[in-house]
A = this chain, B = another copy of it.
Amino acid sequence: MVFLQLNCAHMSKPLILVTNDDGIAAPGIKALVSVAQTLGDVIVVAPDSPQSGMGHAITIHDPIRLYAVEVFPGIEAYECSGTPVDCVKLAKHVVLKGRKVDLCVSGINHGSNAAINIIYSGTLSAAMEASLEGIPSIGFSLLDYSYTANFEECKPFVRKLMAYVLEHGLDEGSLLNVNIPKLAEHEIKGLRVCRQADARWVEEFMEAIDPRGQKYYWLTGKFENDDTDDDTDVWALENGYISVVPSMHDLTNYKAIPGLKGVENL
């Protein structure tokens, strides 16, 4: 395992790919790079602009640009004009060209990706894309949407989780969706392994008129949770824990298969 590599001076350090969806200049990815470089060699491939809410979007109708940039001192880094998922694909096929990545980390996202947010999140979709490529991956999010969020308090936990996955790996095709409460380090009660809460957005659209007299809409809304069991990510976060949800790309609703067999007689 990679743990052994870390303890054998004659072997190479693990290679860690870092990406995000808030863009390569966001404070969250800077925090993540600073933790990652204490554990291995780091390569960054991240969007050149904010890509929040891009989900698992990929760029197929347009060309994509990729430029080497100096953003993190001493770290090989590239900015990409595409989506977070595009970044992972370009990292694998263009930047790394066959070099084996030991871990992909995405984030630290400015804001929650708990519960249903995972399907809208570029941060988690990038981590899922890495898991599809067989790379153990973790998406990190801090429950603070502000650009100037304080990422220092959560760094020790982020480091522990990255070291854990480097040592133990993850199940094939699995990724971790890690959300961190906005608390001081000593206030965080620990880590909880949980399921995705069945909570969702109750939305509205702001309706307004632009300078040319044309109507437009802008998405707004609030998050609501009726899933009050104590085994969910939302419960963990509301109770001072960091939530760790093992996630995957198989969307089959296996329980629904038997009840649909009548479809085969149509």
A residues whose Cβ falls under 8 Å from a Cβ of B: 50, 52-61, 63-66, 83, 85-86, 89-90, 93-94, 116, 118-120, 125, 128, 132, 157, 160-161, 164, 168, 170-171, 173-174, 176-177, 190-196, 198, 200, 203-205, 207-208, 210, 214-219, 244-257, 259-264, 266
Contacts and interface: CB of A to CB of B under 8 A. Distances in A.
A187 B207 CA distance: 50
Nearest to A251: B247
A60 B55 CA distance: 12
Given A63-B218, A65-B216, A93 B263 contact: no
Given A85-B120, A174-B253, 4 more contacts: A119-B128, A161-B266, A195-B257, A246-B257
A86 B219 contact: yes
A67 to B, nearest CB: 9
A173 to B, nearest CB: 8
A203 B266 CA distance: 37
Given A55-B125, A190-B264, A203-B93, A216 B253 contact: no
A58 B193 contact: no
B253 A217 contact: no
Contacts of A266: 157, 160-161, 164, 190-191
21 contacts: A53-B57, A53-B58, A55-B56, A55-B57, A55-B125, A57-B57, A63-B208, A63-B216, A63-B217, A65-B214, A85-B120, A89-B203, A93-B205, A119-B128, A160-B266, A168-B262, A171-B256, A174-B256, A176-B260, A193-B261, A246-B260
